[in-house]
Structure 1
Amino acid sequence: MSRRHSPTADRSRRAVLAVVGATALAAAAVPAVAFGASGETRKTTSAATAASHSTHSTPKPTVLLVHGAWADSSSWSPVVDRLQAQGYPVQAVANPLRGLASDAAYVRSRIESVQGPVVLVGHSYGGAVISKAAADEPQVKALVYVAAFAPAEGESLGALAARNPGSHATPDALNPVPFDLGDGANGVDLYIKPDKYRDVFAGSLSASRANSLAAVQRPISAATLEETATSAAWKDIPSWYLVTRQDHALPPATQRFMAERAHAHTTEVDAPHAVMLTRPDTVAGLIRHAATATR
């Protein structure tokens, strides 16, 4: 979409339609399936399972957590606490949410600031960012997608968002707000309306907690949803995926499609889009599994 001058009503409407369903929003071997507590289902290969139970003497990798749209880095706090308690170095990156290429470049700079191996984790739109940022970065040993986009080259988030029905991130749930880019051009930021936030994003959290999160949500530039991916690091780096079955932002069917295409070790859980807040033990456990299996 054009970034010049103030957007017309029609263009604002088109920007919102591009994000419908977005959140920003089986392995190649035959998997063995195990069932965990609270409706959690895990698919993993026997090799990865064996690796996850082995004992390693090498230092733990640094975990970089990348949030998506309608959240901020503090949304990872419950996961950070659990990983740090297990001795993992952790950084929750402040994703700029201004554009896929520029956001990935920023995250790449954070990767390169770390000494030693990295496990890169993305939630929602953050998955698209890590898919690009990790390309040609040999210190990234694992990718973990948490209810996240994992686009292939040439795909946009808008196209993936429209792949399956079921998202509640419809135009009437979103608030497009023009903003000044500072160079004479304008963009459009997309927020979730406060009264829709709990349904779209926060699910089982209390109404008061959802209202608080809605007030501090970080918007995403609508133009970001029209960018096409130029890299897909999941083709070369082992990946793990957490599918959220109660997701009203990124449909579970779309999540499963991306996980299977990436040959990711997949876990499913009964949780909303904000799973890092509602099921932090599950999220931290999957990250530890990825970190251990790739050491």
Structure 2
Amino acid sequence: MRDIINILALAATIGTAAATSVQAAEPRAKPVIVLVHGAFAESSSWNGVIQALAKDGYTAIAAANPLRSVTSDAAAVASVLRSIPGPVVLVGHSYGGPVITEAANGNSNVKALVYVAAFAPDTGESSARLSGKFPGSTLADALTTTALPDGGQDLYIRQERYHDQFAADVPEDEARLMAATQRPITQAALAEPSGVASWKTLPSYAIYGTADRNIPPAVMGFMAQRAHAVKTVVIEGGSHALMVSHPKEIASLIEEAASAR
């Protein structure tokens, strides 16, 4: 009888060990990639990046960015983050950088931040202030404004200037469509001070082009260095519209952030 009990106990131990081994061998779920567009773009600007990520088995969500204010835009993105049960890599382009920086606060499922030709503000800094930190931006001369009912202003890039200003390395026909479908941003949003800088506690990654005319490359290099970015990729001749002109390079950096342990 004692021998039978010992045999059963041994079998149970082996079974438990085998189950544990199988669980350990199961791959971790891949993070969901949440992509946040910036000013003068819209969600479809991420299409090439989404296609590249999908080929490698990643689920991506291009979150709508209202472009009204850092605080309210971040709240909108944060609501998307709360709807995702697993880990998230949060990616922002241009003004989307301040938005993801704020949206990550209080959302423990965010495992990394990726800044794509984007602002990575410290607490109290605005996009407008950072843009002027080093010379090189020609955006101001390319803008046009429309009055809003509340007395504020919406900013657009003039369509005839869009290709050279925003997307010089994108085919002209495609840039023309982007110009027509661009989303405006309020002037107040660009001047709004940012909240807590989540990149101080989360690993960050950065990618930008040397021919960016919206945000001076020197500014983006400064911000990446200040944030102690895990990896910074510099695209020679890259415009501000990197997600359109260089989607594979962006997807590769996102996947690196997603697979880091």
TM-score (norm 1): 0.78
1:100 correspondence with 2:70:
yes
1:281 correspondence with 2:248:
yes
* Aligned twin of 1:241: 206
- CA-to-partner distance for each residue in 1:173-210, whole Å, 9 max, x for gaps? 10011122xxxx22200000011101111011122211
CA offset at residue 56 of structure 1? 8.1
Whole-Å separation in 1 of the counterparts to 2:244 and 2:195? 31
- The match for 1:255 among 192, 215, 220 is 220
CA offset at residue 116 of structure 1? 0.4
Q: Which amino acid aligns with 2:167?
A: A
CA offset at residue 243 of structure 1? 2.2
* Number of equivalences: 235
- CA-to-partner distance for each residue in 1:85-140, whole Å, 9 max, x for gaps? 11111100010000000000010110000010000000000011000000121100
1:78 correspondence with 2:48:
yes
Secondary structure (helix, strand or coil) at the match of 2:147 reads strand
Contact 2:208 2:217 in 1 (8 A): yes
Question: How many percent of aligned residue pairs carry the same amino acid?
Answer: 48
Q: What root-mean-square deviation, in Å, do the aligned CA atoms of Structure 1 and Structure 2 show? A: 1.2
Query: Larger relative contact order (C-alpha < 8 A, sep ≥ 6)?
Result: 1
Contact 1:168 1:199 in 2 (8 A): no
Structure 1: segments with no counterpart, 5+ residues:
1-54
Whole-Å separation in 1 of the counterparts to 2:165 and 2:134? 16
Contact 1:78 1:276 in 2 (8 A): yes
Secondary structure (helix, strand or coil) at the match of 2:85 reads coil
Whole-Å separation in 2 of the counterparts to 1:276 and 1:56? 33
Q: Which amino acid aligns with 2:242?
A: V
Structure with bigger helix share is 2
Runs of 4+ in 1 over 2 A off after TM superposition: none
Whole-Å separation in 1 of the counterparts to 2:44 and 2:151? 28
Contact 1:176 1:188 in 2 (8 A): yes
Q: Which amino acid aligns with 1:189?
A: D
Change (3 A) 1:150 1:95: same
Matches within 5 A, 1:150-165: 150-165=120-135
When Rg is computed on C-alpha atoms for both structures, the one with the higher figure is 2
Change (3 A) 1:86 1:195: same
- The match for 1:147 among 101, 107, 117 is 117
Secondary structure (helix, strand or coil) at the match of 1:186 reads coil
